[in-house]
Amino acid sequence: MNRKTTQIILIGNYLPDRLESMIRFSSMLNKNLKSKNLNVKELLPKVVFGRFVSKTHMGIGKWIAYIDKFILFPIVLIIYSLKFKFSSKKYVFHICDHSNAMYAFFLPKSAVMITCHDVLAIRGSMGFTDSYCESSPTGKILQKWILYSLKKIRKIAFVSKFTLGQFKEIYPNAPLKYDYRLIYCSFSSNFYHLDLELAYEELKDYPVLINTPFVLHVGNGHKRKNRKLLIEFLIKVKDSWNGNICFVGEDLDSDSLALVNQYQLSSRIIVFNSVNNHRLLALYRLCNVFMFPSFSEGFGMPALEAQACGTPLITSCIEPMPEISGPNSIFANPNNPNDFVDAFMYLQDENNRKKNIEFGFENIKRFELDKVINSYIEFYFSNSNV
């Protein structure tokens, strides 16, 4: 397949769903594949009916958005499939998010590949409690559709060995000729060790974050993110450490709020629902420790972002976090807040902090952007027997 005459079609996500990590992933591929002088086009479902609703991930808005995603957009894909069949131009169709695996049915089998970021929701719909992803009745139907679609796709890139292993567990009879590969995600070049003065300047309107030490967590409010543990951590250390907890993501859930109120910790909790990249860099730079106590992940990008920013990291001992954050990171049991307390106290020693930061900088070299892009290019043009 000639690289100069082949067009790579990146099939991205429906923008109103606000799946930020998936939007960043396809945009990252689009930008960096073009920098390699490849012919690339990012193809997204058009917002037609979805513009009449405020939310497309719940209620009636979800069903209206399905018209755009699963009725109108497949027509576009069929047109491209016909181009593939009758045109002299060659195409590679890369579905960038596994939750859109059903789009493969409208495309030529020989030209489709997909990136699988996790199988947590699929496993949750099948009754695996370790995924911490509960499914509604309609959600179970959707996840069955996604799994059925994934089983039909002949070329899949998995973002971690752990995710690949979980997929093989639920699909042990995958044809040997199918090409399943490990291609790690790359952290964004927007994450780096920010100058200290710039960090102070960015957070000057939040003196509490400059004058008082804080532990940082970045992530949504899903149960599997285990944000409640950080409240339990604060309860354990509140008399021996005068710092705060800063959450970047959604508001705290009712269980976490109940603990905050019970132990009168509201003055020590800071929540940002969303921040721009400059503010996030400043938070990573100034926090005392970044804690990531997830019960389940497909990859765990925030841990890499913290390492890239030179932030001391304590993360879950449950895979894939040891795989992603590296063997020299500090791990703790996400079911035991005392483990996180002990790890935190260990990192209050300056030599231990320095080692942890150095280990982080070394680890992120495994995920350098150019390595990831080259791996995808090789996958696109591989002569897999599929």
Strand, helix or coil at 361?
helix
> Burial code of 338-373, b = ≥16 C-beta within 10 A, e = fewer?
ebbbebbeebeeeeebeebbebbeebbeebeeeebb
For residue 59, which amino acid is it?
Answer: G
Q: How many CB atoms lie within 10 A of CB 87?
A: 11
Task: Calculate what percentage of the chain has a pLDDT beyond 70.
Answer: 99
3-class secondary structure, 280? helix
The predicted pLDDT at position 1 comes to: 63
Shortest CA distance to 116 belongs to which of 177, 165, 81?
A: 165
- Reading the block at residue 283, the tokens are 């938070």
Counting as low any pLDDT under 70, the low residues of the chain are 1, 384-386
How many angstroms separate the CA atoms of 315 and 290, rounded?
A: 8
Element at 39 (helix H, strand E): strand 39-43
User: Residues of 136-153 as b/e, b for ≥16 C-beta within 10 angstroms?
Assistant: eeeebebbeebbebbbeb
To the nearest 10°, the Cα dihedral for 172, 177, 178, 180?
A: 80
According to CATH, the topology of domain 196-366 is Rossmann fold (3.40.50)
Tell me, rounded to whole angstroms, the distance of Cα 218 from its chain centroid: 11
* pLDDT of 386: 43
CATH class, domain 6-186+368-380, is alpha beta
- Domain spans of the chain, in order of start: 6-186+368-380, 196-366
For residue range 101-148, list pLDDT tens digits in order: 999 999 999 999 999 999 999 999 999 999 999 889 999 999 999 999
Of 269, 233, 275, which is closest to residue 252 (Cα–Cα)? 269
Tell me what pLDDT residue 190 has: 83
Q: Which pLDDT score is estimated for 385?
A: 40
Determine if the pTM surpasses 0.75: yes
Q: Do domains 6-186+368-380 and 196-366 have the same CATH topology?
A: yes
